[in-house]
Amino acid sequence: MKICLAQLNYHIGDFVGNRTKILNAIAEARTAGAHLIVFSELAVCGYPPEDLLDYPWFVEACLNSVQEIAESCHGISCVLGAIAVNKGKGRALYNAAYLLKDGHIASVQYKSLLPTYDVFHEARYFEPAPSVHPVDVEGVCAGILICEDLWDQHNDFSYSRVPLSDLTSQGATLLINPSASPFQVGKAMKRKAVLKDNAQRFQMPLIYVNQVGAHAELIFDGNSMVVDAHGNVVLEMPRFQEALAYVELSSEGIGAEHEPSESPEYLHVLSDALVFGIREYCTRNGFKRLVLGSSGGIDSAVVQTLACKALGPEQVQALLLPSRFSSEGSVADAVNLCQNLGNPYTVIPIADVFDASLNALKPAFGSLPFDLTEENLQARIRGQLLMGWSNKFGHLLLNTSNKSEMAVGYSTLYGDLCGGLSPLGDVYKTTVYALAAYLNKQGTLIPEAILTKEPSAELRPDQKDSDSLPPYEVLDAVLKLYIEKRMGAASIIAQGFDHVLVNRVLQLVNRSEYKRFQAPPVLRVTEKAFGGGRKMPLVARYD
């Protein structure tokens, strides 16, 4: 049996576009002689549809699309992810995989394990499958399990059900896994281990089809694959791009025409993910051009470089907004960066606006000393000018804050926290430096002076980040233990960190939640990003 893996990019709610893409893939696979084509989880409506599932018109449109696609399935079978209606007790819907053949719906399999953690909220919408059963696909006894159904023992917890055991006991000899598995650094290795473990544990070949695309914070990398009954990867599809691929299933096993390629280094994958996320966000929201504040610092330099890769340098407008505290070197570095990248830039000094603001506030402030208020005022002036440019010319404003800054609140609301998208909001400062060095391997794009200068917001004379924060190597290590590993203060201190430093850092994180609540969407690239995957109370006492 020749099987086609359809790794496609779906748009949530675009039933016409998704249906057309699916029908075109079916036609191409049929022409190539495929007997079966497999699509990803919720391919018809896009994943994750979230509260759109509460709207009857959305459900009806999805079901109508499934029926129309089924009618086109002649001469080929199809496994298609979509929703199904629950006519019994419980939640109104199922997360389903349809088997389509001979112009109709042959069978439907529901998802058993509904992830309800981090960015997943499936129990909010779906009822779990009461049972699972194999289906006949071109004479092969196949088990269809949807995404999480293979992760019964591969999370921080174990599920009480093992759907694959039920299928094996009923005679399944091929496993098909339509998925919507979001990207994060290191996820590919873990995902591959899960697939290989299941194939070996139950001694059957496994077909895993993931979607590709990005929906605001979530990036889907594709990287679909096929594993044989011995746990060997026989096909691995590309990351961040649509593709169709084929494997042959015979009595001797399963195989593909091409050997899987080696996995690239993590900075390569991280760079590709961020570029892809920026491009996808712009495409899906109708933005053709970008604007950002270029300060001559490392964060804005990396965002600017990624943006130029995403849309092309001619579509990225840099605004240089020097204040009286900006060094000549920073302005020169920002200009050099723009020249290296080939993107347009405009210099708008903010000294006059700052002075005017101080004069307006002088009757109220009187002789009070210069402090954080005046520092933040400069950041907000920059935010105002950047948003003005965005409004006037229709550019999407990219935020340039990194995860370390967002964690401890080292950013100004309505100032440098402005933006429609935060590419680096899930990238720690130390990783930003590593990413900059990697980007420069392709030719010197980011000036050496930006890589080597001491970080500074330049909002007061001789200001340095180290005046307010621990060294980033130490800060990031503590933050990772607290945010990603969810350790408390005592456990982090037991790792060898100073107790005063740990308590201070954790206090900064906890007291900055209100800022992150108002921050732009963050491209998720780690196991625990700020945004939908980390829900913390705004009003609580847990320092």
Q: Which residues contact 452 (CB under 8 A, 6 or more apart)?
A: none
Q: What own/partner pairs with CB < 8 Å and gap ≥ 24 does 204-207 have?
A: 204/143, 204/168, 204/172, 204/173, 204/174, 204/175, 204/229, 205/174, 205/175, 205/229, 205/249, 205/253, 205/254, 206/175, 206/176, 206/177, 207/3, 207/5, 207/38, 207/174, 207/175, 207/176, 207/177, 207/247
Other Cβ atoms within 10 Å of 16 Cβ, number: 10
User: Whose structure tokens read 């998720």?
Assistant: 524
Say which amino acid occupies 299.
D
Annotated catalytic residue: which of 101, 111, 309, 515? 111
Are the CB atoms for 177 and 207 separated by under 8 Å? yes
Which two tokens mark 66? 């499934």
User: Whose structure tokens read 């509460």?
Assistant: 54
How is residue 451 annotated by DSSP? H
d(CA 12, CA 62) in angstroms, rounded, equals: 11
Annotated catalytic residue: which of 4, 21, 41, 78? 41
Which two tokens mark 200? 């070996």
Phi-psi region of 139 (alpha: psi -120 to 50; beta: other; left: phi over 0): left
d(CA 298, CA 355) in angstroms, rounded, equals: 27
Residue 356's H or E segment, with its range, is helix 351-365
Other Cβ atoms within 10 Å of 366 Cβ, number: 7
Is 111 labeled as catalytic in the residue annotation? yes
Helices (H) and strands (E) in the chain, counts: 16, 19
Are the CB atoms for 389 and 283 separated by under 8 Å? no
Annotated catalytic residue: which of 45, 62, 73, 147? 147
Residues belonging to the active site: 41, 111, 147
